[in-house]
Amino acid sequence: MQAPNTYRRMVWHHFRKRHLALLGLWVALMFFFLALFAPLLANNRALVLRFHGKWTWPVWSHEEGIGYQTWKELREQMGPGDFAWWPPIPYSPTEINLLENLEPPSRRHWLGTDDNGRDVLARMIYGARISLSVGFVAVGIALIIGIVVGALAGYFGGWIDHLISRLIEIFLTIPTFFLIITIVAFLPPSIYNIMVVIGLTGWTGAARFVRAEFLKLKELDFILASRALGASHGRIIFLQMLPNAMAPVLVSAVFGIAGAILTESSLSFLGFGVPPPTPSWGDILSQSRDYIEFAWWLTTFPGLAIFLSITSYNLVGEGLRDAMDPKLFH
Amino acid sequence: MKAYLIKRLLQIIPTLLGITSITFLIIQLAPGNPAMLKLQMATQGQVTDTGLSQQIIEQTKKLYGLDKPLPVQYLLWVKRVLTFDFGTSYKDHRKVWDKIAERLPVTLQLNVIALFLIYLISIPCGIYSATHSNTVTDRLLTLFFFVLYSLPSFWIAVLLIMLLGGGDFWDVFPVYGISSIGAENWCFLPWLTDRVWHLILPVICLTYGGLAYLSRLARAEMLEVIREDYIRTARAKGLKERVVIFKHAFRNALLPIVTLLAFLLPALFGGSVIIESIFSIPGMGQLSFEAVLSRDYPVIMAIATISALLTLVGLLLSDILYAALDPRIKLE
């Protein structure tokens, strides 16, 4: 086998040798596709419908049905010659059916129903959207702040570094989860608030790594050469130093996604998550507490989803860390 | 050493001021104010006369000093805290210290037991894994602790309640509070059994995460130490394997593990909001949660300040411990 010739290939070469890390990557990708294609996987609208000789695409339409009949009514009135291709889970996450509430897993509802008769699997598939978007956006916000702050401290040094280091120390010492609850508890419930709050409190890791890398990098000759050629500060920071400082930041970002997913589900569990009826894993788990004596399916499955997604990102993070450089973090 | 200590202790002051001012700013700027909340609670949202309710809100604000500008409020707060006075709770007008004194023993009880178990179990596991590295047992243990580490504690808590808390499955443990009703009048032994019975599930939830983390750390540290030259020397001298492992390797691997203890100070004090609220345990976590929900500024500020102070002291303590245990490290 040909030796890997670029850094990226080398990392991938080492990464793919770790079975658990690869498994984590597959699970993470699976959740990603579940979230991406949620409307095609779980919906009470058919993907393709032929009704009285007319073809429609209910999934893509904004209408509630044809004429006076809703999609659900059409479903019951299908005659010979009509055809419908339903998603694998023919329920929408917010579709209430009080006749079928709190049903254990069955062939109709693979993972059972909740107290409003909503299909748990459908809600969990849409819940993946909340978890993943909070994870990625919150970490994105944290990365942007952390990179800028860390780069300023490491590059300019002096009093700027001193000030920023103090600020980092302060943020490291603040009881973060307590602070997040304090803020989120009284903001109007919204997924965006949660993203921003997690992002604003989680930037210290990235800042510390970038700062440490920049302190090392700025002594190197190629930076001196750029400066001698008249490159601006911005150019040196973002085009020359940053690409060389990204490795540890990326690893901490992957762990950060796992952390953000955990924080979001904890907040939803405490009742500060996305507003109802939007489904989220922590929220389903929180509702399960009212029926904890018997509704094992409400307790087990959403928790399993949280656990699997956190584990997958942790596995990817560990694999990436070891693959990038075994000595990087020790 | 003395100069270093003084310098570090002095550094705590600006950091603490920074932390408290940021926290102060955040809780004051976050929407929802205690005066409004109090009015709503008192009248259960029945007030229709907006002029009157506005007047009541203004009066309440004045009573709590919330009508002054923020910097003035903050300085007044600092002035009071300098005499270790965190004021009185907005909620029930009791002294914040009294409220904390009431809740702290419960949280300490839980967390000290959890911490003890964490160290008791994780260190032997870590050493075993490291000395038997790459055997089947080591791999299973490593995988087990990895899985344990990623399990969200609130999920484990509800699963345990579902399985063992008297639902459709088994009825083994109580799931509410830390003792049965009227237990304070019982004799010592039944009281103790009852207490232990109540603490088992929450302690499990508080223990396993730290257990997994520390076992992984202990294994990694041991593995690193075992590869050192002085271990090879010890073996070459013909020392027994037991002596090599426990006397030469373990003591050195212990360093980061002992210093970690210092970081656990604030957690010991603060308790777990989630676990305490799931099991309805009247500890610090629940106190903070209630304080947040009712916008009880003095209580929130007191908890944030004390845990920040404990974190800073913990950091200093871990540095000192490190220097005391490792003669190569000199504090300048």
Q: How far apart are CA A89 and CA B314, in angstroms?
A: 52
Alpha helices in chain B (DSSP H): 2-29, 34-43, 50-64, 70-81, 96-131, 136-150, 153-164, 188-226, 229-236, 241-243, 250-263, 265-270, 273-278, 284-293, 297-325
By Cβ distance, the residue of B150, B151, B158 closest to A299 is B158
pLDDT on residue A309: 95
Which residue out of A174, A262, A312 would a mutagenesis test of the B interface target, given it has the greatest number of B Cβ atoms within 10 Å? A174
Which of chain A's residues have a Cβ under 8 Å away from the Cβ of B286?
Answer: none
Query: Is B329 in CB contact (< 8 Å) with chain A?
Result: no
Q: Give the least confident one: A86-95, B16-25, B120-129.
A: A86-95
Give the pLDDT band of residue B160 (cuts 50, 70, 90).
very high
- Answer whether A186 touches B (CB < 8 Å): yes
Partners of B270 on chain A (C-beta within 8 Å) are 175, 178
Tell me: pLDDT of B329 over 90: no
Boundaries of every domain in chain A: 4-38+122-328, 44-86
Q: Which residue among A174, A182, A293 sits closest to B292, beta carbon to beta carbon?
A: A182
Q: Which of B40-44, B188-192, B299-303, B322-326 has the highest mean pLDDT?
A: B299-303
Q: For the residues B178-207, what does the mean pLDDT come to?
A: 87
- The answer to whether B300 contacts chain A (CB < 8 Å) is yes
Is residue A105 exposed (0-12), middle (13-18) or buried (19+ Cβ within 10 Å)? middle
Among B262, B284, B285, B281, which residue's Cα sits nearest to residue B273? B285
Model pLDDT for residues A195-223, shown as the tens digit of each residue = 999 999 999 989 999 999 999 888 889 98
pLDDT of B41 higher than 70:
no
Write the residue in B23, B152, B266 that is nearest to A310 by C-beta.
B152
Asked if the C-beta of A327 comes within 8 angstroms of chain B's C-beta atoms, the answer is no
Does position B45 have pLDDT exceeding 60, yes or no? Answer: no
Interface confidence, given as ipTM, is 0.87
> B62: pLDDT confidence band, cut at 50, 70 and 90?
confident
Q: Show residues of chain A in contact with B166, CB under 8 Å.
A: 293
Give the max Cα distance, chain B: 90
> Which of B15, B107, B147, B158 to mutate to test binding with chain A, by most A CBs within 10 Å of its CB?
B158
Contacting residues of B for A188, CB less than 8 Å apart? 31
Task: Determine, for residues A311 and B19 on separate chains, whether the beta-carbon distance falls below 8 Å.
Answer: no
Average pLDDT, stretch B2-12? Answer: 86
Search chain B and give the residue with CA nearest A173: B308
Nearest CA in chain B to A287: B158
Distance from CA of A5 to the nearest CA of B (A): 30
* Residue B200 confidence class, pLDDT cut points 50, 70, 90: very high
Smallest Cβ–Cβ distance between A306 and the set B155, B161, B311 belongs to B155
Mean pLDDT is lowest, of A51-65, B233-247, B252-266, for: A51-65
**Greater confidence, B324 or A124?**
A124
Each residue's pLDDT, cut to its tens digit, for chain A (330 residues) gives 555 677 788 888 888 888 889 999 999 999 999 999 988 888 877 788 777 777 777 777 776 666 666 666 777 777 777 777 888 888 888 888 888 888 888 888 888 888 888 889 999 999 999 999 999 999 999 999 999 999 999 999 889 999 999 889 888 888 888 888 888 887 888 889 899 999 999 999 899 999 999 998 888 899 889 989 998 998 999 898 998 888 889 999 999 999 999 999 999 999 888 888 888 999 999 988 888 888 889 999 999 999 999 999 999 998 998 888 655 433
pLDDT at A313: 95
List the single best residue of B154, B156, B263 to mutate versus A (max A Cβ within 10 A): B154
The 10 Å CB-count burial string (b at 16+, else e) for A185-219 is bbbebebebbbbbbbbbbbbbbbbbbbebbbebbe
A264-to-A128, A251, A298, B65, B161 alpha-carbon distances in Å: 12, 20, 18, 35, 22
Q: Is A157 left (phi over 0), alpha (psi -120 to 50) or beta?
A: left
> pLDDT at position A328, please?
46
Interface-testing mutation among A124, A178, A261, with chain B (most B C-beta atoms within 10 A) = A178
The CATH superfamily holding the domain A4-38+122-328 is: MetI-like (1.10.3720.10)
pLDDT at position A330 is: 38
pLDDT of the residue at B112: 92
Query: What was the pLDDT predicted at A154?
Result: 92
- Start-to-end CA distance of chain A, whole Å, equals 30
Per residue in A138-194, pLDDT (tens digit) is 999 999 999 999 999 999 988 999 999 988 988 888 888 888 888 888 788 888 989
pLDDT, tens only, B280-323: 999 999 999 999 888 888 999 999 899 889 988 888 888 888 88
Q: Is A140 exposed, middle or buried (0-12, 13-18, 19+ CB in 10 A)?
A: middle
Q: What pLDDT score does A329 carry? A: 39
Decide if A289 and B158 are in contact by the 8 Å CB cutoff: yes
| Three-state SS annotation for chain A | CCCCCCHHHHHHHHHCCCHHHHHHHHHHHHHHHHHHCHHHHECCCCCEEEECCEEECCCCCCCCEECCEEHHHHHHCCCCCCEEECCCECCCCCCCCHHHCCCCCCCCCCCCECCCCCEHHHHHHHHHHHHHHHHHHHHHHHHHHHHHHHHHHHHHCHHHHHHHHHHHHHHHHCCHHHHHHHHHHHCCCCHHHHHHHHHHHCCHHHHHHHHHHHHHHCCCHHHHHHHHCCCCHHHHHHHHHHHHHHHHHHHHHHHHHHHHHHHHHHHHHHCCCCCCCCCCHHHHHHHHHHHCCCCHHHHHHHHHHHHHHHHHHHHHHHHHHHHHCCCCCC
CA distance B164 to chain A (A): 10
